[in-house]
Amino acid sequence: MDTIMTLTAYGSKSESAVKTAESEINRLDTLLSVQNKNSEIYRLNRDKTISASADTLNLLNRAIKIYNMTDGAFDITTEPLTRIWGFYSGLKNRVPSENEIADALKTVGAEHIRIDKNNITLDRNTSLDLGGIAKGYASARAAQILEENGIYSALISLGGNIRAVGSKPDGSDWSVAITDPDDNTQQVGTLSVSNTAVVTSGGYQRYFEENGQVYHHILNTDTGYPAKSGLKSVTVVSEDDTLADALSTGLFVMGLERASSLYSENNTLFGAVFVTDKNEVYITDNLKNSFSSQRSFEVIKI
């Protein structure tokens, strides 16, 4: 998952439940990692075809649905682009040449993935990276395991992915802060939530500078370059952890206007908080009773 993992649970069986949930997250990390040579995704990228496990099949099918939902803004075929930009552990960040980007873009798009029952096949030179969706899938499984073990009050943190299991032990909502993209010691605001996922994506989370220019890790597969959508961060709130994870990336790439249109069509599935390049804050209207901030903000209505 390439991040710090924190699980906090309350209840008589909390210690054993947390250990079981942690084991499941580690199992999924091994299964879905792009760099682990023992993972199914690594083998798929290498061999271009595998007979996949139920978890891998489920996640790829979800990813393709969200790809279509976002008109390709969320895309798991970005691995060749991510690699040439050096956004993997052990690689050096660099700005690739236009020819390198053009070649990588030829391999991008869900049309290069074919799924037949439990068999997955990729076109030549196409490779997958599930980094934008796997943490959401893993946090959902961890939450399910905690509940199966009688835990109904817990908080799971996988980097920018937060999953609230139930409410606090006293019955009140959990308070989840949204980090200020310009200063990680400050907050844009807080969300009061229970039994839901809160996932933030932003260019400030992973980036490098070259010749005075900042390049972040969220890539636009229309251009092959870091997305310039007018946004600094997007926070998605949804009971569907997997959707929240993928949409936080997809909405960031889409930008405020397109993201708002997608929300108006799917307002029962998610809510969102946007921070623009001008430090303006926008929230969807289904979060107006759960979001609080000392800053001024505008509400996006359906």
Query: What residue ranges define each of the domains in the chain, with the CATH number in brackets?
Result: 35-122 (1.10.3980.10), 173-300 (3.10.520.10)
| pLDDT tens digit at each of 302 positions of the chain | 677 889 999 999 999 999 999 999 999 999 999 999 999 999 999 999 999 999 999 999 999 999 999 999 999 999 999 999 999 989 999 999 999 999 999 999 999 999 999 999 999 999 999 999 999 999 999 999 999 999 999 999 998 799 999 999 999 999 999 999 999 999 999 999 999 999 999 999 899 999 999 999 999 999 999 999 999 999 999 999 999 999 999 999 999 999 999 999 999 999 999 999 999 999 999 999 999 999 999 999 98
Q: Radius of gyration of the chain from Cα atoms? A: 19
Distance CA(267)–CA(244), nearest Å, equals 13
- The closest of 250, 244, 241, 233 to 271, measured between CA atoms, is 244
CA 177 remoteness from chain centre: 17
Q: At what angle do helices 54-69 and 14-32 cross, to 10 degrees?
A: 70
Distances (CA, A) of 210 to 5, 89, 182, 254, 258: 31, 18, 19, 25, 30
Contacts of 102 (CB under 8 A, 6+ apart): 224
